[in-house]
Copies of this chain bind each other. A is one copy, B any other.
Amino acid sequence: MNALATHVPMPATLPAQQAMAAAGPIDIEELSRHVQVLRRKLAPGQHVYRAGQPFHAIYLVHAGFLKTCELSEDGRERVTGFRMRGDLVGVESIGLAHYACDVVALDDSEIWELPYPPVLHACLQLPELQIRLTAALAGEIRNDRAWMLALGTLTAEQRVAAFLLDMAERHLRLGFSPRHFLLRMGRADIASFLGIKHETVTRALSRLDRLQCIDVQRREIRLLDTDGLRRMAGQGETLH
């Protein structure tokens, strides 16, 4: 996810990780000399792509907010992540003939479409691009693994706390306030992502509010006691 245009990342919520070695922003100007970059705007609810559609491009989120959904043949569905500006979308489907999941805009968004075979070809002339693409994929794996760790070892309330810290971290990285932000997704999406029920998300948020850790007004979140949240999420104290 956090990819070409941004610096590194790791789920801040989880085990802190070092910055991606040498991974600075990629030069979109340079890339667009090799690849035809198409801009697409999306309204909330619109799909970037759906599972099963022919794979032909990866996407860079330029603005807005999206979710990626994994689905199984028997109807189970799960949100596997949320994407914001700078994140790459579609990399999980590289190497397949068809996309493997759904990506849906949760807010008005703009994404840049990077046709895939051309990107691969450009890598041969821009070694730097190849390094960054590979690193972005690896970062995605680490991100998923970090959440797997969290989801497998934390209680429902801890997961919610970790989720809020992750959102705060990502908002901070994009230059927004990490203490006061708006959730762009509903309780159901958060619940799906965290592997719990939406009522449980509500309950956890209510309790964190009662404990003075946060202030919740529906989708408006204020972090009042970040260290308290961190302790709760099973993470050591960090700053900010």
Chain A residues packing against B (C-beta within 8 Å): 1, 6-11, 14-18, 20-23, 50-53, 70-74, 76-78, 80, 91-101, 120, 123-124, 127, 130-131, 133-142, 144-149, 151-153, 192, 194-195, 234-236
Contacts and interface: CB of A to CB of B under 8 A. Distances in A.
A118 B17 CA distance: 24
B10 A92 contact: no
A11 B73 contact: yes
Contact of A138 (B1, B52, B137): B137
A21 B97 contact: yes
A74 to B, nearest CB: 5
As for how many copies of this chain the complex holds, the number is: 2
18 contacts: A8-B52, A9-B72, A11-B71, A18-B96, A76-B234, A77-B153, A78-B149, A91-B138, A93-B142, A94-B134, A94-B138, A95-B135, A101-B145, A124-B130, A141-B141, A151-B152, A152-B192, A153-B195
Contacts of A71: 9, 11, 15, 149
A119 to B, nearest CB: 10
Contacts of A92: 138, 141-142, 145
A139 B95 CA distance: 8
Given A11-B51, A74-B236, A78-B149, A130 B137 contact: no
